[in-house]
Amino acid sequence: MTEPSLEPPVYKIGELRFSPLSGVLELSGEKVVLRAREANLLNALIQSFPEVLSRTEIEAQLWKDSYATNATINQTIKSLRFSLKDEERIIIRTIPKQGYLLSKKPAVEETSDHLQTKDAKVELQRPILNKTNRIYFYIATLGSICAFALGVLGIGNPPDTQISQKIDHAWYLMEEVPATLQSQVAAKYDSKQVVVMHSGMGYQVCQLDSEVLLCQKL
């Protein structure tokens, strides 16, 4: 019997490795083939990161031409968690009243072919990096900062590990967001894209200003 193979692109999520193309998951050196909907759900979570994947989006992506009940969606999520050995819900976080979010940033493993293609793309894209592209790049960087801070803050912390969540135009790197804090951010920064985190001595807000990331205490 042929052993399941991880076909590129291969995503790494903590200790997990996953190939959306072949639907193969590798955990602790053991490879298994996920069921179609489990594989599609995991891929949807990867592609939506760092945004929360809502139940509506799950239904739209996994049941395009049919209807899924809450029980059906719950069972699919439960089955995926079982395949990931994630009974403690550490890998896939449930964000109350919003949806689901991976606790760690997915990273694409770079093969030799991937590196060559990546280098070629850099050379081709460098001349056309205009101001609009730079703005998109910095917005993406904000999302990366959220993911990086999530990973750092999650190491060695007690069970109430901080997670990221988006409210209006602000990213909050904490599980519980006080209403007073939301009001302060909304009043001071209006519709600007910002990242809010707890520094240990208060709250800190980071935003882009003239393409420079600035942080200050709230």
Segment 101-120 mean pLDDT:
71
Conformation bin of residue 118: beta by default, left when phi > 0, alpha when psi is -120 to 50: alpha
The answer to whether the peptide bond before residue 158 is cis (omega within 30 degrees of 0) is no
Question: pLDDT at position 141, please?
Answer: 58
State the CATH number of the domain containing residue 36. 1.10.10.10
Name, of 64-68, 71-75, 130-134, 151-155, the range with top average pLDDT: 71-75
Question: pLDDT at position 149, please?
Answer: 54
Is there a domain that residue 168 lies in? yes
> pLDDT tens across 183-212, in order?
887 888 777 777 777 766 678 778 766 656
Percentage of the chain beyond pLDDT 90 is 38
Is there a domain that residue 199 lies in? yes
Q: Residue 128 pLDDT more than 60?
A: no
Is there a domain that residue 179 lies in? yes
Same domain, 173 and 96: no
Find tokens 């900062």 and name the residue: 145
Structural domain total, the chain: 2
Same domain, 103 and 133: no
Same domain, 94 and 169: no
Q: Residue 41 pLDDT more than 90?
A: yes
Q: Between 10 and 201, where is the model more confident? A: 10
In the predicted model, what is the mean pLDDT of the chain?
77
Question: Any residues with CB less than 8 A from the CB of 202 and at least 6 apart, and which?
Answer: 217, 218
Is there a domain that residue 43 lies in? yes
Among the candidates 77, 108, 139, a domain finishes at: 108
Question: pLDDT at position 200, please?
Answer: 64
Is there a domain that residue 3 lies in? no
Is there a domain that residue 2 lies in? no
Is there a domain that residue 114 lies in? no
Q: Domain limits at 100?
A: 11-108
Q: Which residues of 83-103 are buried (b: 16+ CB within 10 A; e: fewer)?
A: bbebeeebbbbebeeebbbbb
Same domain, 146 and 202: yes
Task: Name the band, by pLDDT with cuts 50, 70 and 90, for residue 142.
Answer: low
Among the candidates 41, 74, 108, a domain finishes at: 108
Is there a domain that residue 95 lies in? yes
